[in-house]
Homo-oligomer: A and B are copies of this chain.
Amino acid sequence: MNALLALWQRLCGDSALLRFVDINLRGAGQVMFQNHPFTGLLFIAAIAWGALAADAAAVLAGGLLGLVAATLTALWLRVDDEGLAAGLYGYNGLLVGLALPTFLAPTPMLWVYVLLGGAVSVVAMLGTVNVTRGWRVSALTFPFVLTTWLLLLAAYAFAGLGSETPPFGAELEPLDATVSNPLHLGAFINGVLHSISQVFLKGNTVSALLFLAGLALASPAAALFALAGAVLAVTSAHLLGAESELVSAGLLGFSPVLTAVALGTVFYRPGWRVAAYAALGTVFTVVAQAAMNVAFAPLGIPALTAPFVLCAWLFLLPQQHLHGNDDAKP
């Protein structure tokens, strides 16, 4: 694998086009914090599989368009070379491009919206980095969340985006917190795997395995924490009595999965104290996910990965307090 990577990097050294491809692949990998082109390739394969299996080619097209639009905007804005090469200006655009066709009808104006969202995600990234740098935390997917929320809310006021009725009112999906059913093993495994694939907005088992493979390629610990985070999220959501269908669709688990990977492997060095801290953060992300689902339902917009952003910031801001045990990253 290392030889293959070395070959790829040599090829990139000779070709501006391949370098551009490399930046975009790394952008895909950064959705789960991995700066590795092959991880990004596996992630894009997973996205393609999930989109095509759901007969939603527009989601795949949107994701790629958003990713490329973001990278081009970053070039135009002359961002820092290091961040650009690591794909840090691409992942938000990819997510914007996946989310818009997921929630909006495929009108011609949708593609203008994806381009606009991909471009603005870079501006939002630069701004967020400038603010959060002072607190020594990362921007995470906040630029994606902010940009997409504004675009989705606005779509309710724009006929060109195919929205017909305002979001408020009786037609809301009720949150049904009935006493939860016993969770059978099949539903449990489904919930765990779909919690991972829903990070990219699709519930699909094959995609989930491809995401895990991509993660393991760059960081076995990240794959382990993703899986453990998903198990913990599904279990605690179930014990709290969340609607079983949401749990097994992975819809309460994708933000906790991101929290688990971020706290357990990206911003702290893995270890027992860190694992316990990450577990607390993961469980609280389940709470935050449910809370934001309730809070945003009247607005007719999804919470996206906002629960992850909120809880990861909450648990990263006091970071110095795990240092004592030599378990913090330098």
A interface residues with partner B (beta carbon < 8 Å): 77-79, 109, 116, 119-120, 123-124, 126-131, 134-135, 146, 149-154, 156-161, 163-164, 166-168, 172, 174-175, 177-180, 239-243, 280-281, 283-284, 287-295, 297-299, 313-318, 321-322, 324
Contacts and interface: CB of A to CB of B under 8 A. Distances in A.
Nearest to A299: B295
Given A123-B318, A153-B295, A156-B177, 7 more contacts: A79-B321, A116-B284, A116-B287, A126-B317, A154-B289, A160-B180, A294-B299
A146 B180 CA distance: 27
A258 to B, nearest CB: 17
Given A150-B291, A291-B153, A172 B168 contact: yes
B287 A318 contact: no
Contact of A168 (B281, B292, B297): B297
Contacts of A116: 283-284, 287
List the 9 closest A-B pairs by CB distance, nearest first: A126-B318, A159-B241, A127-B317, A160-B241, A153-B291, A154-B290, A157-B290, A154-B291, A158-B240
A241 B290 contact: no
Contact of A151 (B123, B291, B293): B291
